[in-house]
Chain A
Amino acid sequence: MSVKSTAARSSRGGAKRRGAAAGREPELVQLLTPEGDRVQHSEYSIDLTPDELRGLYRDMVLTRRFDAEAITLQRQGELGLWASLLGQEAAQIGSGRATRSDDYVFPTYREHGVAWCRGVDPLNLLGMFRGVNNGGWDPNENNFHLYTIVIGSQALHATGYAMGVAKDGADSAVIAYFGDGASSQGDVAEAFTFAAVYNAPVVFFCQNNQWAISEPTERQTRVPIYQRAAGFGFPGVRVDGNDVLACLAVTRAALERARRGEGPMLVEAFTYRMGAHTTSDDATRYRTADERAEWEAKDPIARLQAYLTKEGLADDEFYAALDAESEALAKRVRDGVRAMPNPDPMAIFENVYADGHALVDEERAQFAAYQASFADGEGH
């Protein structure tokens, strides 16, 4: 297909968009169909116990409930902003559950599901969105780095970290999350280059959720994103990002590969951002309800639920208990956010430097004296 006709296809937008430059659907690793039927893949397979399957379902449901609560809290003015992961639960839970505790994760600002898998308290994710800190957790506690807002920067941090892992002779792996928009960033391309030439044990996990705020994926790339890996000299694969089993299987294989010293791999999880970019965004200005409806039919949670039900792996009691757990989580988050105090103004000066800095000391003292000048009760 000529370039011209490809452009014509692209301009139609909507679901046709993902036809991509080659003019045909790229292969997608899928282990669970949207209807909830298990299918086999020649290269990637997975064998999970009923408990593990129910665990993945639980993770996705709780993450979605947490996400919904965060949106509500933003609407109520308790958070300044929220970046919803709605629709991306399978990509995040599948990949997150593929990581080992000694692996290290470098997220964007939307990896709430991955954070959940790593054991980061959901409440801790909300501090930065409430505006009480710029990152409220110790990255080394769960090997889950802070959220990174500037697009794509963390791909380099992950690569450097992975270079360090290799130097240490450890068999851990590193995973860098980013999106389709970030794939245009120079830092992501440089990360691919560094990871490739140093054979770093890092998995690049791109959630292609089809939209970078208002810009569709074809504004970022003329080839399917996973195919870019070939140009850097490492494998890339596209996985059904709404299929938690496929995401788990592929990410697990990619991480194992990295641990074996076989270098980086790019996983493109083909998914959809069901919500707006953030609570400040209005997605109706740039995409159609039809497109959203099409993806709703591929919902990651509904398809696993269909499978669990068909196979008799989950009963009403399980679902009822999970409902109760979800509501308890939402309540804990709601209460926790509302109780989150504003930081002390003097926190401005904390941790600017690890070894101190004369100017910060001077300004801290001046500001403290200024604050103290109101101490006679006049307020300020």
Chain B
Amino acid sequence: MADEKMAIAKAINESLRKALETDPKVLVMGEDVGKLGGVFRVTDGLQKDFGEARVIDTPLAESGIVGTAIGLALRGYRPVVEIQFDGFVFPAYDQIVTQLAKMHARALGKVKLPVVIRIPYGGGIGAVEHHSESPEALFAHVAGLKVVSPSNAADAYWMMQQAIACDDPVIYFEPKRRYWDKGEVDTTAIPAPLHSARVVREGGDVTLAAYGPMVKTCLEAAAAAEEEGKSLEVVDMRSMSPIDFDTLQASVVKTRRLVVVHEAPVFLGTGAEVAARITERCFYHLEAPVLRVGGFHAPYPPARLEEDYLPGLDRVLDAVDRALAF
């Protein structure tokens, strides 16, 4: 199976399938991941093919899912657990932050915790409360965790392979509103390193940095800006911990302007860290302050307001204009 066009959800499914096939220690766990195949069908068919011992429907208890995954990892397994929705991760937050993130250090390196936590995240699907959040900064802030988010099918496939192979806990944020976006997946390719950013569109006037669902938005913004004669470079950050600042720096040295875009609230978010670091690294190259486009310091709004809350093409271009006008 080489080049094939598949949706992001399918690419993750294929990647999990590949991992289950190649490593008997890999387990898939979560609520409804078995017979149902997950509420988004990301794990569709896996239990049928790999059995209930490896694709495990768990009790409805997120702390229990992560806590038992830790125990399984200590026993030598590589659990890939699903948290059904972003807003449901908090019952497990204690196990993730207090135990999973710190246990390798606590054990002076004597134990490893190769646990992947899959979290469908972000808005744009018209959902009820707690189904549209972007809590990635809450995890990136914690030493011991790695945090990534693919924006396309090929990355979804390969970053899952790499996350499972990683001996550290990885929080894998899945851009749920892009689950059905299709892209080429070359399952024989040699992937880029898991925590590397990638320039996905070259440009000379302003850099847009984004990850997950906002990469598509930024690419659309760049296409629209081109019609107005503005050349935007888009960097897919791919990883929020660690962040590939070298790639961002190289882009900003070229464009001299940076706008960071994410769905999560901007206050103390990923964009704040990028702004601080890039300002440190590129102070004399910048023609404008690093700007951020993201969510507000308010609870994620009801679905009828989410188009106003979420950064869209216009809000991205508004920030581009402000950066250029500075």
Contact = CB atoms under 8 A, between A and B. Distances in A.
B107 A194 contact: no
A145 B70 contact: no
A148 to B, nearest CB: 8
A2 interface: no
Contacts of A352: 104-105, 143-144
B282 to A, nearest CB: 16
24 contacts: A135-B107, A145-B74, A146-B107, A148-B99, A150-B98, A150-B99, A153-B95, A155-B67, A156-B68, A157-B67, A160-B68, A160-B74, A163-B68, A164-B74, A187-B67, A190-B63, A191-B68, A197-B59, A350-B109, A351-B109, A353-B146, A354-B109, A355-B168, A358-B243
Contact of A139 (B69, B99, B111): B111
Interface of A: 133-140, 145-146, 148, 150, 153, 155-165, 167-168, 186-187, 190-191, 193-194, 197, 350-355, 357-360
Which of A159, A168, A190, A194 has the most C-beta atoms of chain B within 10 angstroms of its own C-beta? Answer: A190
A161 B146 contact: no
B106 A354 contact: no
Nearest to A149: B98
B53 interface: yes
Contacts of A360: 143
Contacts of B109: 350-351, 354
A145 B103 CA distance: 10
A156 B143 contact: no
B94 interface: yes
A186 B112 CA distance: 25
B104 A194 contact: no
A145 B107 CA distance: 9
A159 B241 CA distance: 30
Interface in B160-193: 166-168
Nearest to B64: A190
Interface string B49-80: 00001000011010110111111111111000
B64 A191 contact: yes
Nearest to A150: B98
B244 interface: yes
Nearest to A361: B242
Nearest to B196: A358
A167 B27 CA distance: 11
B131 interface: no
B78 to A, nearest CB: 11
Given A139-B110, A150-B94, A354-B104, A160 B168 contact: no
A192 to B, nearest CB: 10
B106 A162 contact: no
Contact of B167 (A153, A191, A354, A359): A354
Contacts of B61: 190, 193-194
A357 B241 contact: yes
Contact of A159 (B67, B77, B108, B144): B67
B195 interface: yes
Interface residues of B, number: 47
A194 B58 contact: yes
B64 A193 contact: yes
Nearest to A172: B75
A368 to B, nearest CB: 18
A360 B61 CA distance: 33
Which of B94, B98, B107, B167 has the most C-beta atoms of chain A within 10 angstroms of its own C-beta? Answer: B107
A153 B58 contact: no
Given A150-B99, A160-B71, A164-B75, A353 B59 contact: no
A136 B110 CA distance: 10
B144 to A, nearest CB: 6
Given A153-B67, A156-B64, A165-B75, A353 B168 contact: yes
A291 to B, nearest CB: 33
Given A138-B110, A140-B111, A153-B94, A351 B77 contact: no
Nearest to B76: A164
Contacts of A165: 75
B242 A357 contact: yes
B242 A160 contact: no
B317 to A, nearest CB: 31
A194 B112 contact: no
Given A194-B61, A358-B242, A163 B94 contact: no
A257 B241 CA distance: 45
A157 B99 contact: yes
Contacts of B72: 160-161, 163-164
B58 to A, nearest CB: 7
Which of A150, A155, A197, A352 has the most C-beta atoms of chain B within 10 angstroms of its own C-beta? Answer: A352
A159 B94 CA distance: 17
B107 A138 contact: yes
Given A139-B110, A160-B74, A167-B53, A191 B67 contact: yes
Contacts of B102: 134
Given A190-B61, A193-B59, A358-B242, 13 more contacts: A138-B110, A139-B111, A148-B99, A153-B95, A156-B66, A156-B68, A161-B74, A186-B91, A187-B95, A193-B64, A350-B105, A350-B108, A357-B242
A140 B58 CA distance: 27
Contacts of A193: 59, 61, 64
B63 A160 contact: no
Contacts of A138: 107-108, 110
Nearest to B69: A160
Contacts of B166: 355
Given A133-B108, A193-B59, A357-B242, A161 B71 contact: yes
